[in-house]
DNA sequence: AATGAATGAGCTTTCATTCAT
DNA sequence: TATGAATGAAAGCTCATTCAT
């Protein structure tokens, strides 16, 4: 209540939020991104009301949970452009990181393609990563390695996201391999007769 | 009671089943494949009991709704192999048909990747189409057009299915284009250093 | 439609009714007296509508199913009074028959105690058998073997019916033995202090 | 937050639970032990979810509703053995209490004989009361008042329970009287020729 | 600010009963 | 008269979300 009561409280709140994020991350892995709020609250050792106070909507929680990784991924783009031998190599490496991220988060890829109620989530991810991917793509196009000028970063990323849906659930489906093939397809000049 | 008594009733039932299938198809487009049974019944103008009478499980309904298209798709495979100039051209055309099918049925692609409770559905689709795709793929490999011997029909189809998830919801995402790129990737020989 | 069409129809109807009774008896044994109408219709090889035509209410069906046995039981009373050595012996034997009847019909005893919706059933059974039991009881009282003048046939029979509920479901519960003890209790003069 | 914050909430919850128990007891009387959860919730003035929160399964609710009486009944056994003039008198009095309990709870006796889905209920009642009854029975046998050594507490109690089914619905059926006769039957030596 | 009890909509599924054919 | 398709009322159960404490 006094000036030194606040900091204590704030510390508590922060601790709570951390616990919530950890719990959500753990639960998401097991039960997917649609896991019951109660499960998350229980694992964090807080009441459900607390979850709602910190994260009014589910998307807010999801965004918060994955913010760190998204940031890391965003920062890796420019770095690879410097460190890798060619822009396309940089693109491939970055794509691989992105796949890593999606594949380890069970259900995340699916949620990203849903839009339905996950608008905020969708928005955040794309706003942050699309520019990064666009730079990589543009560079690889400029270097002549990527032969498709008609592929935008947004759709490319979304395609990667989609390919990662359900990855890990079925041994016979290797998302990483399919993404590699997709990336390979970028180097192929479109047939004269058109795609269709 | 006589030999023509049966057909009359059956005609009614068939009409009803048709209404149900149409209603389900329409509702699936709007609410996805998990739409409440009540909604489907309401749209068909029948009671929920009728839905259950015709289609004991949800998967039965979904399979019924899409059976025609699946069959058509299955039959097109061998035909294209004969009519198209090369096996790879046949594969591309068949893939295009498959995409047509998935893209028009909102939510179907997603359901196929879920497995979760849709085992029967999943099974039906794959049992019917994977062999067809496998033949096309094998032929295109034999002709030297497809350079990836490590891509199985199952995973290729699944990748296509995934790429079609959410198609039509966002103008900026053209599933057909991304599938074309994936298919193009099949012609690219894998880098010596591996995909990763 | 003509005068000779009727008999044929009537024969059909009778056959149907017989099939229905047999089916119902069989189903009652397995699923109890509340078994789904459909099950009965299916086993009889007729439509559910036919069941309703023949037996408008469930009780009607139950009554019909057990009518034969009830009649046999009703007729046995006077006979035993003649053939057995004493009226009480006759009573015991008759009670034993009654128990036989109830115990073999799974769920019947329970239905008799429900009243709820089985009024007709209840009524039929009691109207037919209570007088018989009353005669036996009166005779055994007259002979001095039964010491309780305050026990009416109706309540005695109902007690027997109740004791038979669930008989056969649990090896540790021997309905016949308990009925024997109850019957034995009839011979005990009420304590001076009253039953309560 | 402080040590007296807890009790306040708990008081509310307890009040609610009480309302639920009262409502359930009342509804059980009218509609039997299988009454719709919705009805109970409505009568208690709470949502169905609240019922499930407090009593996850129906058996839990039933057990809770009758726990007090069962406990009282269990404790009365040994007491009567001390206070009454003879063991048999104690048995009679205890049986009377048991009947009191069953007769006032319409539908309970029936549920106990069902087993079907009420395993937990059945188990609780018997685990608690059978030993008590067994002691009374053994004592009465030891004193020579009970002449049937072949009657187990379990079956005796079950017989009593059965005799109480439907008690109160029909003025002409006096469950208490019939139980008294059954208890009287315990004192009768079995006929040489057997019960049958 | 945190809690978690309460709410109630919403979904599935089962059958008794009706009624068009 | 027989059929069985259709109906729709029930009932169980599960959360997302609110809100009193």
Q: Mind listing the pLDDT tens digit for each residue in B70-112?
A: 999 999 999 999 999 999 999 999 999 999 988 877 677 777 7
Do C179 and C157 meet the contact criterion of CB atoms below 8 Å apart? Answer: no
Q: Do A96 and B185 touch (CB under 8 A)?
A: no
What distance in Å separates the CA atoms of residue B125 and residue B20, rounded to the nearest whole number?
A: 21
DSSP chain D: --TTHHHHHHHHHHHHHHHHHHHHHHHHHHH-TT--HHHHHHHHTS-HHHHHHH-SSHHHHHHHHHHHHHHHHHHHHHHHHHHSSSHHHHHHHHHHHHHHHHHHSTTHHHHHTT-TT-HHHHHHHHHHHHHHHHHHHHHHHHTT----TT--HHHHHHHHHHHTTTTTT-TT--HHHHHHHHHHHTTSPPPTT---
Closest C1' nucleotide to D13's CA: E5
Same fold yes or no, A1-56 and A65-196: no
Q: What is the C-alpha to C-alpha distance for residues C66 and A4, in angstroms, rounded to an integer?
A: 85
Lowest mean pLDDT, pick from A25-34, A73-82, C172-181: A25-34
d(CA C175, CA C173): 6
Q: Which residue is nearest to nucleotide E16 (CA to C1')?
A: C37
Task: Flag residues of chain D having pLDDT under 50.
Answer: 1-6, 194-196
Indicate yes or no: CB of A165 within 8 angstroms of CB of B163. Answer: no
Q: Residue D14's pLDDT is what?
A: 85
Q: Which nucleotide is nearest to B5 (CA to C1')?
A: E21
Least confidently predicted of B3-7, C135-139, D33-37: B3-7
| Annotation: CATH topology of B1-56 | Arc Repressor Mutant, subunit A (1.10.10)
Q: Decide: D142 and D161 in contact? Cβ < 8 Å.
A: no
Nucleotide E4: nearest residue by CA–C1'? A47
pLDDT band at C188 (very low <50, low <70, confident <90, very high): very high
pLDDT score for D116: 60
pLDDT at B33: 85
- Lowest-confidence region among A168-182, B149-163, D8-22: D8-22
CATH 3.30.450.20 fits B58-191, yes or no: no
Which residues does chain A have within 8 Å of residue B186's beta carbon, measured at their own beta carbons?
181, 185
Mutation target vs B (from A91, A162, A182; most B CBs, 10 A cutoff) = A162
**H helices within C55-174, ranges in order?**
58-83, 87-104, 108-112, 119-142, 153-163
Largest Cα–Cα distance in chain C? 76
Q: What is the mean pLDDT of chain A?
A: 87
pLDDT 10s digits, A32-57: 888 999 999 999 999 999 999 999 98
Q: What is the CATH number of domain A65-196?
A: 1.10.357.10
**How far does CA B182 lie from the centroid of its chain?**
18
**F strand bases under 7 Å from protein CB:** 1-21
Most distant pair of Cα atoms in chain B: their distance: 75
Q: Is the dihedral of CA D98, D101, D106, D110 positive or negative?
A: negative
The reply to whether residue A186 touches residue B181, judged by beta carbons under 8 angstroms, is yes
Whether the Cβ atoms of residue A112 and residue A164 lie closer than 8 Å to each other: no
Query: Distance in angstroms, CA of A129 to C1' of E11?
Result: 38
Contacts of B36 (CB under 8 A, 6+ apart): none
Q: pLDDT (tens digit, 9 = 90+) per residue, A90-115?
A: 999 999 999 999 888 767 777 776 65
Q: Report the mean per-residue pLDDT for chain C.
A: 87
Question: What value does the mean pLDDT of chain B take?
Answer: 87
Task: Tell me which nucleotides of strand E come within 7 A of a protein CB.
Answer: 1-21
- What's the CATH number of domain D57-196, 2.40.160.60, 1.10.357.10, 3.40.50.2300, 3.40.800.20? 1.10.357.10
Provide the residue ranges of all domains of chain D, joining segments of one domain with +.
1-56, 57-196
**Most confident range, picked from A67-76, A102-111, C6-15, C112-121:** A67-76
Architecture field, domain C60-196? Orthogonal Bundle (1.10)
Chain D positions touching chain C (beta carbons under 8 Å): 96, 110, 113-115, 148, 150-152, 154-156, 158-159, 162-166, 169-170, 172-174, 176-178, 180-188, 190, 195-196
- Least Cα distance to B164 among B91, B99, B119 occurs for B99
- C1' (E21) to CA (C58) span, angstroms: 26
Q: Residue D152 phi/psi, 5° resolution?
A: -85, 155
| In the predicted structure, residue A135 carries a pLDDT above the cut 50 | yes
Q: Has residue C135 got a pLDDT over 70? A: yes
> What residues in chain B have their Cβ under 8 A from chain A's Cβ atoms?
96, 110, 113-115, 148, 150-152, 154-156, 158-159, 162-166, 169-170, 172-174, 176-178, 180-188, 190, 195-196
Closest CB to C181: pick one of D114, D152, D185: D185
Output the distance from A36 CA to F14 C1' rounded to whole Å: 10
Across the interface, whether the CB atoms of D151 and C177 are under 8 A apart is answered yes
Q: What number of other Cβ atoms are within 10 A of residue A191's Cβ?
A: 12
> Can you spell out the DSSP letters for A81-150?
HHHSSSHHHHHHHHHHHHHHHHHHSTTHHHHHTT-TTTHHHHHHHHHHHHHHHHHHHHHHHHTT----TT
In chain C, residues with a C-beta closer than 8 Å to the C-beta of D174 are 155
- Name the residue closest to F10, CA to C1': D36
* Nearest residue in chain C measured CA to CA from D106: C114
Could you tell me the distance in Å between the CA of residue C44 and the C1' of nucleotide E21?
22
Q: How far is the CA of C1 from the C1' of F21 (A)?
A: 80
pLDDT in tens, B167-196: 877 889 999 999 999 999 999 987 655 444
A3's CB contacts (< 8 A; 6+ apart) are: none
Q: What is the CA A112 to C1' F15 distance in angstroms?
A: 23
CA distance D166 to chain C (A): 6
Q: How many CB pairs under 8 A join C and D?
A: 116
Of B13-17, C38-42, C118-122, minimum mean pLDDT range: C118-122
Question: What mean pLDDT do residues C108-135 have?
Answer: 79
Residue C129 pLDDT exceeds 70: yes
Q: How far apart are CA A166 and CA B163, in angstroms?
A: 12
For the segment C45-68, the average pLDDT, to the nearest whole number, is: 92
pLDDT (mean) for B24-39: 90
Residues of C with a Cβ under 8 Å from any D Cβ are 96, 110, 113-115, 148, 150-152, 154-156, 158-159, 162-166, 169-170, 172-174, 176-178, 180-188, 190, 195-196
Q: What is the pLDDT of residue C121?
A: 74
């Amino acid at each position: 209540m006094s000036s030194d009561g606040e900091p204590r409280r704030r510390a508590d709140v922060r601790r709570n939020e951390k616990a919530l994020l950890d719990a959500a991350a753990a639960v998401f892995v097991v039960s997917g991104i649609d896991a019951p709020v109660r499960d998350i609250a229980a694992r964090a050792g807080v009441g459900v009301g607390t979850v709602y106070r910190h994260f009014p909507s589910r998307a807010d929680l999801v965004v918060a949970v994955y913010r760190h990784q998204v940031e890391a991924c965003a920062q890796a783009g420019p770095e690879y452009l410097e460190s890798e031998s060619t822009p396309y190599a940089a693109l491939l490496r970055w794509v691989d990181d992105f796949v890593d991220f999606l594949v380890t988060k069970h259900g995340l890829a699916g949620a990203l393609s849903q839009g339905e109620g996950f608008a905020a989530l969708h928005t955040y991810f794309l706003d942050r990563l699309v520019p990064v991917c666009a730079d990589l793509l543009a560079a690889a196009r400029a270097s002549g390695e990527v032969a498709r000028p008609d592929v935008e970063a947004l759709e490319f990323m979304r395609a990667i996201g989609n390919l990662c849906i359900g990855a890990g659930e079925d041994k016979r489906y290797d998302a990483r391999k399919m993404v590699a093939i997709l990336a390979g397809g970028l180097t192929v000049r479109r047939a004269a007769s058109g795609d269709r």
